[in-house]
Amino acid sequence: MAGSLKVGVLGSRGRMGAEVCRAVEDTPGMELVAAVDTGDDREQLSEAQVVVDFTTPDAVMNNIAWCIDAGLHVVVGTTGFDNERLDQVRATLTDAPSLGVLVAPNFGIGAVLMMRFAASAAPYFESVEIIELHHAGKIDAPSGTARRTAELVSRAREGKPSPDVTSQEISGARGASVSGVRIHSVRLEGLVAHQEVLLGGHGEALTIRHDSLARESFMPGVLLGVRWVTEHPGLTVGLEAALGLD
């Protein structure tokens, strides 16, 4: 299709990858040129301009390096990114200054706004904790969205800890600590992706919650990222910049 943005998908037979393939095929101005999964030849992706990766934490770093080496922009929805991995992506991009890589912990526009609202509210409350709830097939805990939320909240609070005098506990009862913010992970059949940020102050509490009820809810953000990344070289973390929120 002449003039269309050519898109390839890694992880195309997974739940999110298959949804991305359908979304690209249904979007005017985009063309799905390669749908690649485990065991397939990645060379098919060489026809693309942008590759979307929804694979696994074990595979994603090699995929990103391969795409950059092939001269392809990358949009990453795979979870498992910490600062060390992000620094590795930046290093890989050093010799490819014209390429863009967008790593988004969540492509749900409502989820991005939830994180932003939580960061805005966090300095005004004594306590903050996060509960994230996902389907039973999710392999990482806590989720990338929860990790990102904790980092944003901690930054907004300038690292101020929540009060907690717990002296006796069963290991894990207080959840994981990310940037000093407690995260509690729930894995339950029937869920998709949900998160609550609980903020407590003197005589009041505020709950900020986002629910993704179907995987198609992430597609507007994915498609936005695919269009945006081609004009924004370097590494970008989060969808905020593409939404004009930075």
The residues annotated as belonging to the active site are: 134, 138
Give the chain's count of helices (H) and strands (E). Answer: 6, 11
Alpha helices in the chain (DSSP H): 15-25, 57-69, 83-93, 109-121, 144-156, 219-229
Burial of 85 per CB tally in 10 Å (0-12, 13-18, 19+): middle
CA dist 189 and 232 (Å) reads 38
Query: What is the SS3 assignment for 209?
Result: strand
**Residue whose C-alpha is closest to residue 235's, from 108, 47, 67, 18:** 67
